[in-house]
Amino acid sequence: MAAQPLNSDLFQKQVENSAKQLTDAITVVSTTHSKQFNWLDQLIRRTTSEANFRVQALRFIDVLPSLKDDLDLTDHLQEYFSNLQLPGFAEWGLKHSDAVWTTRIAAPTIRYTLRGLARKFMGGYKLHHAMSCISRLRHDEMNFTLDLLGEATISEAECEDYKNKYLEMISSLAEPVNNWNENSLLDISHGSHSPKLNFSIKLSSLYSQISSAAPQESINAICKQLRPILRTAISHDAFITIDMEQYDYKHIILGCFRQIIMEDEFKSWPHLGLAMQAYLKETYQDLFNLIELLNTRGTPITIRLVRGAYWDYETVIAKQNNWHCPVWENKNDTDYNYEKCLTLLLQSNTLIHTAIATHNPRSIAFSMALINQLNLNNDQFEFQMLYGMADALKPALIKLGFRLRIYVPYGETLPGMAYLVRRLLENSSSQNLINSGFGQQNKPLHSDSFNAPVATQQTIHLKSIDKKRFKNFSFLRFIDKKQSHQFQDNINQVKNKLGDKYPLIINGKNIFTDVTITSYNPANPLQIIGSVSSANHNFADQALTAADKTFKIWSNTPVRQRADYLRRVAALLSKRRMEFAAWEIFEAGKNWQEADADVCEAIDFLNYYALQAEIISKGENINISGEFNHINYRACGVCLIISPWNFPLAIMCGMLSAAIVTGNTCILKPSSLTPVVAAKFMQLWQEVNIPDGVINFLPGSGKVVGEYLARKPNVNIISFTGSQQVGTNLLKIAARIQPEQSHIKKVIAEMGGKNTIIVDNDADLDDAVLGVVHSAFCFQGQKCSATSRVIVVGNIYKTFVKRLIETTSSLTSGSPENPFNLLGPVIDKNSYDRITNIIKLGQQTATLHNYEAATDTENGYFIKPCIFTDVDPLSPLAQEEIFGPVLSVIKADDFISAINIANNTRYALTGGIYSRQPSHIEYAQKEFYVGNLYINRKTTGAMVHRQPFGGFKMSGTGNKAGGESYLHQFMDAYCITENTLRRGFAPDVENE
Amino acid sequence: MAAQPLNSDLFQKQVENSAKQLTDAITVVSTTHSKQFNWLDQLIRRTTSEANFRVQALRFIDVLPSLKDDLDLTDHLQEYFSNLQLPGFAEWGLKHSDAVWTTRIAAPTIRYTLRGLARKFMGGYKLHHAMSCISRLRHDEMNFTLDLLGEATISEAECEDYKNKYLEMISSLAEPVNNWNENSLLDISHGSHSPKLNFSIKLSSLYSQISSAAPQESINAICKQLRPILRTAISHDAFITIDMEQYDYKHIILGCFRQIIMEDEFKSWPHLGLAMQAYLKETYQDLFNLIELLNTRGTPITIRLVRGAYWDYETVIAKQNNWHCPVWENKNDTDYNYEKCLTLLLQSNTLIHTAIATHNPRSIAFSMALINQLNLNNDQFEFQMLYGMADALKPALIKLGFRLRIYVPYGETLPGMAYLVRRLLENSSSQNLINSGFGQQNKPLHSDSFNAPVATQQTIHLKSIDKKRFKNFSFLRFIDKKQSHQFQDNINQVKNKLGDKYPLIINGKNIFTDVTITSYNPANPLQIIGSVSSANHNFADQALTAADKTFKIWSNTPVRQRADYLRRVAALLSKRRMEFAAWEIFEAGKNWQEADADVCEAIDFLNYYALQAEIISKGENINISGEFNHINYRACGVCLIISPWNFPLAIMCGMLSAAIVTGNTCILKPSSLTPVVAAKFMQLWQEVNIPDGVINFLPGSGKVVGEYLARKPNVNIISFTGSQQVGTNLLKIAARIQPEQSHIKKVIAEMGGKNTIIVDNDADLDDAVLGVVHSAFCFQGQKCSATSRVIVVGNIYKTFVKRLIETTSSLTSGSPENPFNLLGPVIDKNSYDRITNIIKLGQQTATLHNYEAATDTENGYFIKPCIFTDVDPLSPLAQEEIFGPVLSVIKADDFISAINIANNTRYALTGGIYSRQPSHIEYAQKEFYVGNLYINRKTTGAMVHRQPFGGFKMSGTGNKAGGESYLHQFMDAYCITENTLRRGFAPDVENE
């Protein structure tokens, strides 16, 4: 048969011939599974047609295994389905129970139902279940690959544990499986021996501190764990396939694979495979590069080509971050890419063995036609399918003489839920062919099902493309080396610029003073970042005069022009994002991601406030016959801005840009710990030619600049972010009316927090532990939003605390120049002394874990994250803000007690809960008194616009930063009323 | 001819026959007016088709006579038409000028044009012009009635002047006119002599202090002025018709007429007429009642039946106040009513002589048919038309043998503008038949023009009927006696309840204390309004405990329920509005209207905040894939409310209702000067069963209750309205953090003002003087919004000050129980002493006018309004808040200087300008720094929702009361972020 172009009509004819062969081979089995699965069809039908039901059903299934008792279970059931015709769902669950609907009866029934569901898609809980499962498959002429389901491995201890389980699994199964009789169809591949034993493994399980920004360190750590597994596989004649995971890990997984297959020890070992995902836009190029590498290896490896199972997740994450979407947004493109990749693979038959992993009839028929055209033997490829999926197709493939391998996951129900939900999701997706009832219901496949997929390469945009709508600036993803290298280059360049001198800026003039503030690298105090001129009273007076004088003309500058200054600075900052992040790494001790996030937030503030100012400036009209009313806002005057060091760019930028875009003029006093970042920031304003006197840059001491100016009668607004003590002092100063003062001073004070996460007893602990750890320890806990208390509800306490401690002790710490280090130093010696002292005192009342502080602070103010357990909720540890990497764990009997403990502070800034019980989530929404409440995620990282940020009680006075009302604080409202009735007549009114 | 029912087809046939007679009688004159009026048609066409042009053109014409020089005129011209194709307009103005378009040429041309316009509709400027005008009419076989145009008479001096002019006009014209030859058509009515001399007079010109609420006093005052005019008319054989004016005066004008015609002196005099307006819904009944009265008089009078000329004004005013609209909203109904009234009049031929005043061909034809059917002779009625209107119809009526009288206004251009604009309005109305070019263009009238009008009785609603939309509660209009009597009854009833004792209310319990606050009537200090229990520290502690304890449950009460308490109190207050107003009259010294307005505002606050709270409670969602963000607000805690005496109900109610509807609990400390109104108000909350502890009522001294509680750590919000001194002291107290305090206290302080009105040199002085007088002196200037400085620009200073002083001296003052008194006492002895002292000191630096204070304050703290001229803008008089009936006049060279002077205070509350120059209005909108700026109206009387109220600088800290953002001050914002991505999937997002 002559080779046909794959996009030709003739080839399509061949696909259709194959399709006919395939459908003819299907023997319809009226009930392929036992009776207890009848309701599954109903569930799938309902979850497909009712979006809300689908969400609730899948979430309920997800939480089910973590529910400890029957009452808990029925509570959850009722809460999840209270608005969704519970009886219908109950019926579904109770179909096979004659008992009355009571808690005692319902719970076991539901559990039985879930186990049934699990059995449909999993090979069992224990190794011996898995053994009998794969034996059954062998009996039915199918190969297997075994996947050990587990919890997310979030600490090195868990990784070690997982590795050991893997080793044990291989050794245990080796003897019985290798003793199976040979089967030439199953055990020969490319004319050679193919191991009977076959395992699939997730590399993320082997190492808990994977960092995209430090790929080589991650690869090294993973390979170190992988090698013993591969050695055991070799010694037991087992085949290992490395599963592909989410896109964030792809570069590292691929990196591991490429590294390990070229190592001498494994270079000639053929029984190693890698899964690749056709839904990724990069996969074709990745395969192409891999083939290049394999040319030098010689020994072939196997590629399992799948479509990919994280489509929802990948698109959601990309959308949330305004990232380029790594997966094809249109399913047609994935289908098209699958065939394209498959063609490449099968054409590279000598270097790569191909596992065609699909349940899609068109893909199978296409493969058959392609194999035919390439003249491949049936042992030169295999098909793979998932356990429990597309069961009607499997015997047909066998009947057609193909080798078929079944992917069999096994493990505990609890960790297996992620897998189960993914399968149910797939089965309930309206795009899924299986849903149409194909096979099971003896429905012939529609011939359209075999049409060639047409590539669209479309990007699906957000529903409403509104140019006016604010979009957050995207974080760096550090997934390709180019980006990391560029970032590293910026670090190196900044390193060469350390030690410069920076001026004050008053009325547009740069002024260098003799007295300066020296800024040090907290990770390396001997390294001077720069020295910044320091203001005295005289300069403060000059700055105030300049700001005062400039106010009139600046406040009368059209808002569009003022907003454009912000946008121009945002554009400069966008271009130089890495440079600014590098400065933060040196001056504030932020790690790569934190530094980048701070720059992004600064850009967001600029763009958001520019837009908001324009919106607000339109005012509001309330017109009626004969009367025109217009409500609008005007600038207040001179704004004194006192900004903190912990978000040295973003917070300062937000406070400053809000003040000036609304027409106020400013005096900016940055933190004396991060004055260089501030000085660099000022250079941007000079570059965009901000008029003289609008921003007067006045580094200096709090007393000499801050307090002194706060007292001045012609300061109108004091915008402060920092400690409660300084904030309340400023409030007091501002409330004292000075002679000649002609306005009440406004004080916008964003202060501290004592933030709590509550971990409910039905929480997803994988998520909860990681969320708590990141909320508490990232940037060493030096965020006002950082979690410093975790309250654990009920019987999960032990498990949670164990995992928390292990995970915390796995965190990497060290110089933030190296992206491998998640954690860095605290900001300065004062902080170091204060925090270490708190830890010392805390030990008198609570149990300390993980504590380790640098003994020699000359090499940086490092304090490794530590945890206190057995903490009294009223003790200083649990009440005072620490602003360091110290977390207190408190136990609560139930959720309501937990909320009460959480509220029992003077602060109300952030808070979080991890819970999957709807009533608890609702209760927290009402009763957890914090400015920003986070549900099932970390408490840090509020995004401009989406999560307006700020607290109340002693945490602050102001409107939320990054929210619609923030700018109003910098303005006075006025209302203009015009009587338009003149001589008895008035113009028509439109909005009446 | 048999009488036909007027709604029958047969009668309609007769009307059509009459119409034919009428149209046959019209001799078409191709150009009835001289060449210079050609452009009038163009103007009319353009103003008809372009709404915006119409507004600007009429406004420009309105301001024109007040423009003193040419530069001023061309400035205005350019500003009025800058966006409206000025060249087109210029062309219009310059059609008959060959000169270049320059200021020097343009201005005279425009003035010439205006004079042409005026000549079209007016009989001239001077009496001798009028004389030649009416002689011409006599020559053309037409009668006249002469109307003396004048400025609004806003002071008694001006009324006196106007009366004298009238007397002079009658005497001067008597001799020449009475010497005219007799003309049997013109000079015989109902077979008897009809005077040749005929005048129309506006009663409002005779008395400047007309009060709807005190109709009899107004009638007496007017009649007193009218009698000499009537006597002069009798002695000179003149006929007097009393013009009808706007609806507000109708009851008084009708009252005057009914009174005077029954007085012995005038009872048998037949030469008296009254104009009645068919567009008023009440007119038919009024005519009916008048006929009844005439039955007892015997001698007939004349009724001139018109449609009415203030339709726009009446509907606008009614809409603005949510009043029942007094005029038919649909023109068909007016037409229908015209015929109905006319039928009644002509049928009452023996008691009433009818003047059919119309330019409407259908009305004329209808009249002719009706006259025919009633067998009336041509001397038993007359037609009347306006000078310059429908000139084609006039000769036709004469040709048909009818008596026709022309209404001829004459007088100065400046005061004549109101009349001219009204005529132009009418001529440019798209509903006006004349516009169709009828007569002038030889167009036959369409036969539809003679169809019978069909009554609709429709009420035209606002365009969007939105039930959710807030509507202000309507003020009483005091135009019918029933309302006034009812109000008086309430005053009497309250009088009987004076002297009661009122309790504190703590946690729902009434507590009577031994120590009490005694409340006196400021107009009669010997009269005790009541005594109110007074709290000590112990009660203050109890109240705080109650409020604190109740907070949790109240803040968790659904907002809908909380809002409903407000709505129920609003409903009670609506029912008992007059009772509450009566209490205010006694306790605060408010006049009827001010007391009523305060009650209305209280009701508005209740309804508005109820609605706003519900709207706000919905929060805002910003949802994206995998993330749900909800921004909402929650109550803060305990709110201490310290309310003032000057709006004893409204401000207290606004502060209180805002605090509780948002979920806070309250301690209410009312002013010790008006505690009884507060206690009565508390009874309403008890009636609606507000839960115990939500509002704790705590009258007492500022030190013992206010300051004491302001210091307490568990007071969260201090809401204060009052003096700057107390307000800033509270700010200071609140800024000091107390031990155990767990929040920053919020202070909402609404304080004083030093408010200015600027009167520009092109201002409409009739409006400006009245606006300034009302802004400065109503409620004795005891409003934070009251004007206390007026800045007069340029060359109008003398005229303005003269009118201002005269108008002020005409104001009535005395016990507010009597609605005749516009002004009452100041609130207490302290105020009296303070204000009189300020006046005494003021005389050292400025010139005092009108000063008069009660010498014996035992009969009330009366200080008549007084004015300082030659005031230095920096003197205490011009800088310090006085809070009394004292107004300072300052002269400014130009408008910009005036704004600078106005801004030169520590306050920024209200301000006003009277100007008709667009660039000045725009400049003030930008540069006049006040919270509420009013253009061409008074500075007091801000309406909830339409004019959110409040200032900045030293005037206040808060968001505007009665505006959307007010409630936010009583709440803390929070943001809930839920990660909805679980197990890799997230529910769909709708608003993405």
- The DSSP code sequence of A23-36 is HHHPPP-S--S-GG
- Determine the distance in angstroms separating the CA of B292 from the nearest CA of chain A, rounded to an integer: 34
CB of A925 within 8 Å of a chain B CB? The answer is yes
- The answer to whether the CB of B886 falls within 8 A of the CB of B880 is no
For B462, the closest chain A residue by CA position comes to: A992
Q: What is the pLDDT of residue B96?
A: 39
The residue that leads in pLDDT, B272 or B53, is: B272
Beta-sheet strand order (sheet of B717-721): B509-511, B504-506, B695-697, B665-669, B638-642, B717-721, B746-750
What band does B32 get if pLDDT is binned at 50, 70 and 90? very low
Please indicate whether, in this complex, the C-beta atoms of A977 and B933 are within 8 angstroms of each other.
yes
For B552, the closest chain A residue by CA position comes to: A927
| Range with lowest mean pLDDT among A407-411, A681-685, A949-953, B85-89 | B85-89
> Could you give the C-alpha distances from B846 to B794, B877, B891, in angstroms and in order?
19, 9, 13
Query: H helices of A589-723, where?
Result: 592-617, 650-661, 675-687, 708-710
| Range with lowest mean pLDDT among A45-54, A59-68, A241-250, B539-548 | A45-54
Strands A627-635 and A971-979: antiparallel
Among B975, B979, B989, B990, the residue to mutate for chain A (most A Cβ within 10 A): B975
- Known catalytic residues of B? 750, 784
> What is the tens place of the pLDDT at every residue in B797-806?
999 999 999 9
Neighbouring-strand partners of residue B198? B239
Please indicate whether, in this complex, the C-beta atoms of A965 and B978 are within 8 angstroms of each other.
no
> What is the tens place of the pLDDT at every residue in A755-788?
999 999 999 999 999 999 999 999 999 999 999 9
Q: How far apart are CA B649 and CA B675, in angstroms?
A: 10
What band does B434 get if pLDDT is binned at 50, 70 and 90? very low
Q: Whose structure tokens read 């080798």?
A: A403
Q: What is the pLDDT of residue B107?
A: 76
Q: What is the pLDDT of residue B447?
A: 64
What totals of helices (H) and strands (E) does chain B contain, helices first? 32, 34
> What is the tens place of the pLDDT at every residue in A254-278?
999 999 999 999 999 999 999 999 9
Q: How far apart are CA B141 and CA B144, in angstroms?
A: 10
Q: Which of A223, A639, A784, A866 is catalytic?
A: A784
Please indicate whether, in this complex, the C-beta atoms of B316 and A626 are within 8 angstroms of each other.
yes
Q: How far apart are CA A909 and CA A888, in angstroms?
A: 17
Q: What is chain B's mean pLDDT, rounded? A: 90
Please indicate whether, in this complex, the C-beta atoms of B624 and A946 are within 8 angstroms of each other.
yes
> What is the tens place of the pLDDT at every residue in B745-788?
999 999 999 999 999 999 999 999 999 999 999 999 999 999 99
For B764, the closest chain A residue by CA position comes to: A982
CB of B291 within 8 Å of a chain A CB? The answer is no
Please indicate whether, in this complex, the C-beta atoms of A925 and B976 are within 8 angstroms of each other.
yes
Neighbouring-strand partners of residue B231? none
Please indicate whether, in this complex, the C-beta atoms of A979 and B935 are within 8 angstroms of each other.
yes
Flag whether pLDDT at B961 surpasses 70: yes
Strands B932-935 and B910-914: parallel
Among A58-67, A430-439, B573-582, the range with the most confident prediction by mean pLDDT is B573-582
Please indicate whether, in this complex, the C-beta atoms of A636 and B947 are within 8 angstroms of each other.
no
CB of A462 within 8 Å of a chain B CB? The answer is yes
Strands B238-242 and B272-277: parallel
What band does A34 get if pLDDT is binned at 50, 70 and 90? very low
Of the candidates B315, B363, B359, which has an alpha carbon nearest to the alpha carbon of residue B336?
Answer: B363
Q: How far apart are CA B851 and CA B838, in angstroms?
A: 12
Q: How far apart are CA B162 and CA B150, in angstroms?
A: 8
What band does B42 get if pLDDT is binned at 50, 70 and 90? low
What band does A459 get if pLDDT is binned at 50, 70 and 90? low
Residues in B closer than 8 angstroms to A984, CB to CB, are 309-310, 312-313, 418, 421-422, 425
- Determine the distance in angstroms separating the CA of B858 from the nearest CA of chain A, rounded to an integer: 39
Residues of chain A numbered 388-427 and touching chain B (CB < 8 Å): 417-418, 421-422, 425
Q: What is the pLDDT of residue B98?
A: 38
Please indicate whether, in this complex, the C-beta atoms of B421 and A983 are within 8 angstroms of each other.
yes
> What is the tens place of the pLDDT at every residue in B852-897?
999 889 999 999 999 999 999 999 999 999 999 999 999 999 999 9
- The answer to whether the CB of A166 falls within 8 A of the CB of A148 is yes
Residues in B closer than 8 angstroms to A316, CB to CB, are 625-626, 981, 986
What band does A873 get if pLDDT is binned at 50, 70 and 90? very high
Q: Whose structure tokens read 């919004």?
A: B785
Q: Which of the 8 DSSP states describes residue A722?
A: S
> What is the tens place of the pLDDT at every residue in A284-331?
999 999 999 999 998 999 999 999 988 989 999 998 898 999 999 998
| Range with lowest mean pLDDT among A425-429, A679-683, B196-200, B690-694 | A425-429
> What is the tens place of the pLDDT at every residue in B584-596?
999 999 999 999 9
Q: What is the pLDDT of residue A182?
A: 93
Please indicate whether, in this complex, the C-beta atoms of A960 and B954 are within 8 angstroms of each other.
no
Residues of chain A numbered 824-853 and touching chain B (CB < 8 Å): none
What band does A524 get if pLDDT is binned at 50, 70 and 90? very high
> What is the tens place of the pLDDT at every residue in A405-440?
999 999 887 777 778 888 877 776 655 444 434 444
Q: Dihedral through CA B174, CA B180, CA B184, CA B187, nearest 10?
A: -10
Query: H helices of A298-360, where?
Result: 311-321, 331-347
Q: How far apart are CA B319 and CA B326, in angstroms?
A: 11
Flag whether pLDDT at B13 surpasses 60: yes
Q: How far apart are CA B337 and CA A152, in angstroms?
A: 86
- The answer to whether the CB of B297 falls within 8 A of the CB of B350 is no
% of chain A beyond a pLDDT of 70 = 91
Q: Which long-range contacts (CB under 8 A, 24 or more apart) does B110-119 make?
A: B110/B64, B110/B73, B110/B77, B111/B64, B111/B73, B113/B39, B114/B61, B114/B64, B114/B65, B114/B413, B115/B413, B116/B36, B116/B37, B117/B40, B117/B61, B117/B420, B117/B424, B118/B413, B118/B416, B118/B420
Residues of chain A numbered 583-602 and touching chain B (CB < 8 Å): none
Query: H helices of B870-952, where?
Result: 876-879, 895-903, 918-927
Please indicate whether, in this complex, the C-beta atoms of A425 and B974 are within 8 angstroms of each other.
no
Query: Which of A737, A952, A981 shows the shortest C-beta gap to B728?
Result: A737
Residues in B closer than 8 angstroms to A744, CB to CB, are 728, 731, 749, 952-954, 956-957
Radius of gyration in angstroms for the set of CA atoms belonging to chain B, rounded to a whole number: 32
Query: Which of B316, B556, B963 shows the shortest C-beta gap to A625?
Result: B316
In three-state secondary structure terms, B519 is: strand
DSSP B739-757: TT--SPPEEEEE----EEE
Q: How far apart are CA B371 and CA A936, in angstroms?
A: 89
Q: Dihedral through CA A640, CA A631, CA A618, CA A949, nearest 10?
A: 50
CB of B753 within 8 Å of a chain A CB? The answer is no
Q: What are phi and psi of A824, to 5 degrees?
A: -125, -155
CB of A968 within 8 Å of a chain B CB? The answer is yes
A750 labelled catalytic:
yes
Q: Which of A314, A594, A750, A817 is catalytic?
A: A750
Of the candidates A720, A532, A725, A723, which has an alpha carbon nearest to the alpha carbon of residue A643?
Answer: A720
Please indicate whether, in this complex, the C-beta atoms of B425 and A984 are within 8 angstroms of each other.
yes
Q: What is the pLDDT of residue A868?
A: 98
For B963, the closest chain A residue by CA position comes to: A631
Q: What's the average model confidence in pLDDT over B33-40?
A: 47
Please indicate whether, in this complex, the C-beta atoms of B954 and A744 are within 8 angstroms of each other.
yes
Locate A900 and state its tokens. Answer: 């009460």
Q: What's the average model confidence in pLDDT over B232-251?
A: 96
Residues in B closer than 8 angstroms to A432, CB to CB, are none
Flag whether pLDDT at A38 surpasses 60: no
E-strand ranges in B428-558 read 500-502, 504-506, 509-511, 516-521, 524-533
For A697, residues 6+ apart whose C-beta sits below 8 A from its C-beta are: A503, A504, A505, A506, A668, A670, A678, A679, A682
Query: Which of B319, B625, B921 shows the shortest C-beta gap to A625?
Result: B319
Residues of chain A numbered 322-341 and touching chain B (CB < 8 Å): none
Please indicate whether, in this complex, the C-beta atoms of B316 and A982 are within 8 angstroms of each other.
no
Q: How far apart are CA B382 and CA B374, in angstroms?
A: 15
> What is the tens place of the pLDDT at every residue in B635-658?
999 999 999 999 999 999 999 999
Q: What is the pLDDT of residue B468?
A: 57
Residues of chain A numbered 607-646 and touching chain B (CB < 8 Å): 620, 622, 624-627, 629-631, 634, 636
Of the candidates B149, B153, B77, B95, which has an alpha carbon nearest to the alpha carbon of residue B118?
Answer: B149
| Range with lowest mean pLDDT among A392-396, A893-897, B859-863, B981-985 | B981-985
Q: What is chain A's mean pLDDT, rounded? A: 90
Output the 3-class SS for A922-972: HHHHHHCCCCEEEECCCCCCCCCCCCCECCEECCECCCCECCCCHHHHHEE
| Range with lowest mean pLDDT among A461-465, A516-520, B349-353, B497-501 | A461-465
CB of B952 within 8 Å of a chain A CB? The answer is yes
- Vertex A276, ends A270 and A280: CA angle to 5°? 160
Please indicate whether, in this complex, the C-beta atoms of A981 and B316 are within 8 angstroms of each other.
yes
Among A314, A977, A988, A992, the residue to mutate for chain B (most B Cβ within 10 A): A977
Among B422, B625, B983, the residue to mutate for chain A (most A Cβ within 10 A): B983
Neighbouring-strand partners of residue A620? A631
Please indicate whether, in this complex, the C-beta atoms of B978 and A463 are within 8 angstroms of each other.
no
Output the 3-class SS for B115-132: HHHHHHHCCCCCHHHHHH
Query: Which of B964, B968, B983 shows the shortest C-beta gap to A421?
Result: B983
Q: What is the pLDDT of residue B104?
A: 65
For A83, residues 6+ apart whose C-beta sits below 8 A from its C-beta are: none
Q: What is the pLDDT of residue A219?
A: 97
